[in-house]
Chain A
Amino acid sequence: MNDKGYMTSDSEEKEEKQEENVTTAIQQLGQTNIPQMAQDSNIHCLTIVGQIEGHIQLPPQNKTTKYEHVIPQIVAIEQNPNIEGLLVLLNTVGGDVEAGLAIAEMLASLSKPTVSVVLGGGHSIGVPIAVSCDYSFIVETATMTIHPIRLTGLVIGVPQTFEYLDKMQERVVRFVTKHSNISEEKFKELMFSKGNLTRDIGTNVVGLDAVKYGLIDEVGGVSQAMKKLQELIEFKKGKEGKMLQ
């Protein structure tokens, strides 16, 4: 009798524990377990979200993408033979010019096929990152703000500072025109146009328009991007096969 009593309390305890596990999962994540896939992914996914953080550390309440996190990841992706392609998801307001250009240059010089998707927004220094990939997509509702480089939005008083910023801007313009189909004239026209942004110069380019200007290759979401990436991977494999023969 004693034994039996022990058994029941034990199994009850187990049941209770299991239930508890489920409830903590729901409390902590707002979700339950998702079935796991066994094999490793040959496509990795890099998310550029929030602000692009550079030399100055932003307070922790800001959502940021730190270049010291992203750059080693890109190196690891380049080096890992199991990774065949990279999908870059962008939803950024922009941020540090040098950090943004650093990430863009890293992506542009990656030997593996890369595809970017702009979701929500790919503003400011997010533009070079979006165009740095081999092929770029933008969802229909996403926007990209193209505007001149500035420090605080105040008027720049010193000619030397202006020259320095102008050179910095020139780097962005050159990178974007080199990696996309947009012409320098068009990009600068969008950058310096008036009346599009409230009390500011620049243009807010929406999905279809970004494709029309040649900035982005195609309108599409994740399925189109994955298909394109697979295509690029197959193409690269085919080319390598030929070179060996």
Chain B
Amino acid sequence: MILYTTMPQELIFQTASAEYAKQQLVYYDSIPLLVRETETKEYEIVRNLSTNPQHFLQAKYSPGMRILPPR
């Protein structure tokens, strides 16, 4: 199918509902983090949502780091 438009595809096609489930908000060391589950069943930090600037100075809470899912 060819769509003759300059509109980006995400505006035309609906996102699969599975896409929404990939990211979630977790509290890790009582810091709110937006995480994505990886293939190895770990969580990869997408965004640090904390308002405390000190939390951004610690490497273990920075985006890209992996944390283990809460039990």
Contact B22 A60 (CB under 8 A): yes
Q: In the complex, A239→B36 CA distance in Å?
A: 46
Question: How many residues does chain A have at the interface if contact means C-beta atoms less than 8 Å apart?
Answer: 26
Over the window 46-68 of chain B, the binary record of Cβ atoms lying under 8 Å from chain A Cβ atoms (1 yes, 0 no) is 00010111100111001111100
Smallest CB separation, B32 vs chain A (Å): 7
Q: A60 near B19 (CB under 8 angstroms)?
A: yes
With an 8 A cutoff between CB atoms, is A41 at the interface?
yes
Please determine whether A44 and B20 come into contact, CB atoms closer than 8 angstroms: no
Would you call A40 and B19 a contact (CB within 8 A)?
Answer: no
Are A77 and B51 in contact (CB-based, < 8 A)? yes
Task: Verify A34–B57 contact, CB threshold 8 A.
Answer: yes
Q: Does A245 contact B (CB under 8 A)?
A: no
How distant is B70 from chain A, measured CB to nearest CB, in Å? 18
- Of all chain A residues, the one with the shortest Cβ separation from B25 is A69
Most chain B C-beta atoms within 10 Å of own C-beta, residue among A43, A45, A59, A60: A60
Residues of B within 8 Å of A37, CB to CB, are 54, 57
Interface residues of A in 64-90 (CB under 8 A from B): 69, 73, 76-77, 86
Cα-based distance from A43 to B49 in the complex (angstroms): 15
Interface of B is mostly: mixed
Give Cα distance in the complex from A2 to B67, angstroms: 39
B20 and A59 within 8 A (CB): yes
Chain B residues with Cβ under 8 A from A223's Cβ? Answer: none
Cα distance A87–B35 in the bound complex, in angstroms: 25
Pick the contact of B32: A29, A41, A44, A69 (CB < 8 A). Answer: A69
Mark contacts of A35-74 with chain B using CB atoms, 8 A cut-off: 1 yes-contact digit, 0 otherwise: 1110011011110000000000101110000000100010
A25 sits at the interface (CB 8 A): yes
CB neighbors of B among A1-36 (8 A): 25, 28-36
Chain B residues lying within 8 Å of A32, measured Cβ to Cβ, are: 59
A25 adjacent to B49 (CB under 8 Å): no
Top-7 shortest CB links A-B: A59-B15, A44-B51, A28-B64, A29-B64, A60-B23, A33-B59, A45-B53
* B residues lining the A interface (CB < 8 Å): 10, 15, 19-20, 22-23, 25, 32, 49, 51-54, 57-59, 62-66
Q: For the A-B complex with A30-B64, A77-B51 known, give 20 more contacts whose Cβ atoms are closer than 8 Å.
A: A28-B64, A28-B66, A29-B62, A29-B63, A29-B65, A34-B59, A36-B54, A36-B57, A40-B52, A43-B53, A44-B52, A57-B20, A59-B10, A59-B15, A59-B20, A60-B15, A60-B23, A69-B25, A69-B49, A86-B51
CB<8 Å pairs between A and B, sample of 20? A29-B59, A29-B63, A31-B62, A34-B57, A35-B57, A36-B58, A41-B53, A44-B53, A45-B53, A57-B20, A59-B10, A59-B15, A59-B20, A60-B15, A60-B22, A61-B10, A69-B25, A73-B51, A77-B51, A86-B51
